[in-house]
Amino acid sequence: MSRLSIIVPACGLQEQIDDTLVSVLEHRPDDCEVIVAHARSYQDPYDLGDEVRFVCGASNDLTTLFNEGVQHAKSDIVHLLEPGTLVTANWCDAPLEQFDEDEELICLSPILLDTNTTDTLVAAGVRYQANGACHRVAERSKLAKLARVTVDAPTLHAGFYDRVGFLSLGGFCPTMGYELADVDLAARLRLANAKCGVSRQSHITFAATRPTYSRLLVRRKEQLFWRYMGSYRASLVAHASHVLGQIAYSTLCFRPMSEVTGRLGGWLDSWKDKANRVQLSAAEPAELDDHHSDVLSMEDYRTGSTSGETLRRTGTDG
């Protein structure tokens, strides 16, 4: 069995898919498999069947293809790369060593650098706060001045995960969209007391783009808060203060109504769809959404009750 599975979804621009695959195939470690997760419409234009393994997903959505790739991976550690990311020699060495040294690690975030200015960070990971705020850690920081940082999860662009741990939390939630799928996973990781680290020696470049402001994005942020509010027991006062701050900022940007209606829509959605309110705690198995119903709980993961799954670093075959 390979030590590492590198997963690249075939979605988005063909040029970006090609660039990422070329960089991976040029610099991949010896003991790894490369998986291309794709929708049915994708064809293998370069006849790479001997070098990569193709798996077919249900849709062309990035998060769905990532989840599908992890489901089919044969390694204990999976590495997810969004098309457009570029890697260099030995970029996997430090993360694999960190997983070997710390059995509690569930995920590791590489240092994501801006392709255009490689001394500037796109992010070192993402964080979710109990008041509903979410942000990229160390965004636009200079690499030379990067201090010690804490993250809850890697960005959607690139990350290393313990496969069983990733599946136990249900992977990425497609309904949260491209901008918030990693933050949603970060909230679940944090609630489950799952350990996430930063691999400062692993550098990956990516062409950074600023998230496009939209009412839908605001709505999903509000959904995210209400989804986890019961588990975090966050102060509604703190959330209200955060929302008022966002409305004030949006007023300066001449878009207050989009912020207000987006927040209101997200709040109404949370009451219409109570099934999406995840109640997690460190002491209890995860209760996941319907689309996560076939995965392990964190309690199963910690105790080794894997129902046929392979536990990392135990030698138990599933």
Please write the tens of the pLDDT for every residue from 305-318.
Answer: 433 343 344 333 33
Determine the Cα–Cα distance for residues 161 and 66; give it in Å rounded to an integer: 12
pLDDT digits (tens, 9 = 90+) for 54-105: 898 888 899 999 999 999 999 999 999 999 999 999 999 999 999 999 999 9
Pair 43, 27: CB distance under 8 Å: no
Q: Please check the confidence at residue 202 and state whether its pLDDT lies above 70.
A: yes
Q: What is the pLDDT of residue 270?
A: 83
Closest CA to 5 of 18, 24, 23: 24
Written as six digits, the tokens of 192 are 């489950």
What global pTM score does this model have?
Answer: 0.84
Share of the chain above pLDDT 90, in %: 61
Determine the Cα–Cα distance for residues 303 and 64; give it in Å rounded to an integer: 28
Q: What is the pLDDT of residue 43?
A: 61
Written as six digits, the tokens of 255 are 């878009």
Written as six digits, the tokens of 42 are 């994708």
Determine the Cα–Cα distance for residues 170 and 294; give it in Å rounded to an integer: 8
pLDDT digits (tens, 9 = 90+) for 218-258: 999 999 998 888 666 667 888 999 999 999 988 888 888 98
Q: What is the pLDDT of residue 39?
A: 82
Report the 10 Å Cβ neighbour count for 2.
16
Side-chain-facing half-sphere of 202: CA atoms under 13 Å: 24
